[in-house]
Amino acid sequence: MSNSTCSKRSRLSVVVDGVDHIEGSSHDNGTHVVVEGSSHIVAIHKRFILERDSNVNGKNRITWKSTTLPWEKFQFWEPRIVDGFSLYSEDKTVENAITTPKYSFYHSLQYEGPSDIDGVKLDWQNCDIDVSYGPRETIVDQWCALPEGQRIVYGKDVAGTRKAEFGVFNLELDDSIDVGLEGIICRWNKTGIEKCQKGLTMFKKAHTLSMEKVDVRLIEPVGMHPTLEIDLQEIMPYTDKCEIFMYLILPKNLFIDQFGGHMTDSVTPLFVSGLTDLEKPSYQLQNNGWGSEVLYRLRNGELNRIELHSRYSEPKNVSEQETSSTELVKFNPILFEACDTGISNLFQNPFYSKGVGYERYFTNDTIFHHFQNRQIGVKIPAARWHDYEKTQWFTVLCLLSSMFYLFYKLFSKPKRNR
């Protein structure tokens, strides 16, 4: 997806945990800014805008959400992207991807993206990443921590850009939708840093963290048909223009029966994309895609149940002393309240832009209030390999015996009655 570019613009932003730490968190020598990691630095944001000299049809997006960086800490300026690595494409089919109503979608728990975009390093080991490929430009956003012992040296030549900007801020305002950052902003000219000046940045965010607590759990016993229970009985809608949804990224070991399951009161999905074959075990789907994408509209004020189905797993090579064998499959449901606001500028702010992804199923003026929820782990029963071999031989023996008996009855001469 790399394209030739004619110019780059960049910005490095640092947020600290108090006004007193704004000036002490960085220093400059006239041409470069040095930021030293410390406990007072909340987060940093690196943005590059790569302007292309050729037009490209369609939109594509790469995202990476690290498990070591809690989104709740960065939610004031970072969108809630899907955990792991995701590749979205509107204009072509990606290898081993699934086709959804809006895009072609590939997902993996491991990072499988490029190491850089036109010379801009993607630091996937320390940052969350969002790369949006538009018709005329590519926007690279990275949200990172900067612990003690690490430093960033930033300047116009280091960034390799025609325009560079640096800002260090205190988080002055962070409510349900508005964010205010107050601090110092520095810009570069042809010879070095221009005079830094105080600045205030205000913007509206499209992804917020809800203070409501929602219980999401698996009903015991789990078995081959795991059931998620989402308790919304005490949850009141934010406004009358809000609805609660659950978005699932399921590995190939789990699937949703789009034609209905065993439970009559389970929630029906709005759509299911990806692997929906009801019969094949997971080890026979290696080249058919990575899993499935599902979106549910939940019932406000009720106890909601979502029925999943597990596929047969490949037999495990365990010792004969172990009486059972299971495969642990994990996934992270995204539970949120989507609200129509009528605010058109939610689509873009200085630190991220809405792109291809589950946001595409909603209007541009939608704000997402995300509920805190935990990772779900499902133990899927798996056969022990030595039992599997015994079962295979026994099955073959029964099949041969049955065939022999049938042929014997068909071709043997009947006995005459005396």
Q: Specify whether the backbone of 301 is left (phi greater than 0), alpha (psi in -120 to 50) or beta.
A: left
Residue pair 151/34 in contact by the 8 Å Cβ criterion: yes
Task: Tell me the C-alpha distance between 365 and 206, whole Å.
Answer: 8
Say which range, 29-43, 61-75, 155-169, has the weakest mean pLDDT: 155-169
Of residues 351 and 287, which shows the higher confidence score?
A: 351
Task: Tell me the C-alpha distance between 311 and 286, whole Å.
Answer: 13
pLDDT higher than threshold 70 for residue 403: yes
The amino acid that residue 38 corresponds to is S
Of residues 319 and 362, which shows the higher confidence score?
A: 362
Residue pair 12/26 in contact by the 8 Å Cβ criterion: no
Percent helix, strand and coil across the chain, each rounded to 5? 10, 45, 45
Say which range, 92-96, 179-183, 234-238, 242-246, has the weakest mean pLDDT: 92-96
Residue 350: per-residue pLDDT: 87
Average pLDDT over residues 136-161: 88
Q: Which two tokens stand for residue 270?
A: 């709005």
Residue 277: per-residue pLDDT: 67
pLDDT higher than threshold 80 for residue 280: no
Residue 138 host element (H or E): strand 137-144
Average pLDDT over residues 219-244: 87
Task: Tell me the C-alpha distance between 174 and 76, whole Å.
Answer: 7
Give per-residue pLDDT as tens, 58-101.
Answer: 688 999 999 889 998 899 999 999 999 999 998 777 788 888 88
pLDDT higher than threshold 80 for residue 408: no
List of domains in the chain: 8-205 (no CATH), 210-381 (2.60.40)
Residue 260: per-residue pLDDT: 63
CA dihedral 331→64→368→365, nearest 10 degrees, is: -140
Residue pair 182/172 in contact by the 8 Å Cβ criterion: yes
Q: pLDDT class for 212, splitting at 50, 70, 90? A: confident
Say which range, 9-18, 90-99, 295-304, 315-324, has the weakest mean pLDDT: 315-324
Which range, 236-250, 275-289, 324-338, 369-383, is most confident? 236-250
Residue 407: per-residue pLDDT: 76
Q: pLDDT class for 144, splitting at 50, 70, 90? A: very high
Residue 246: per-residue pLDDT: 96
pLDDT higher than threshold 90 for residue 401: no
Residue 3: per-residue pLDDT: 47
DSSP 399: H
Q: pLDDT class for 391, splitting at 50, 70, 90? A: low
Cα separation values, 27 from 31, 179, 269, 322, Å:
11, 26, 53, 61
Q: pLDDT class for 409, splitting at 50, 70, 90? A: confident
CA nearest neighbour of 16 among 34, 36, 35, 41 = 41
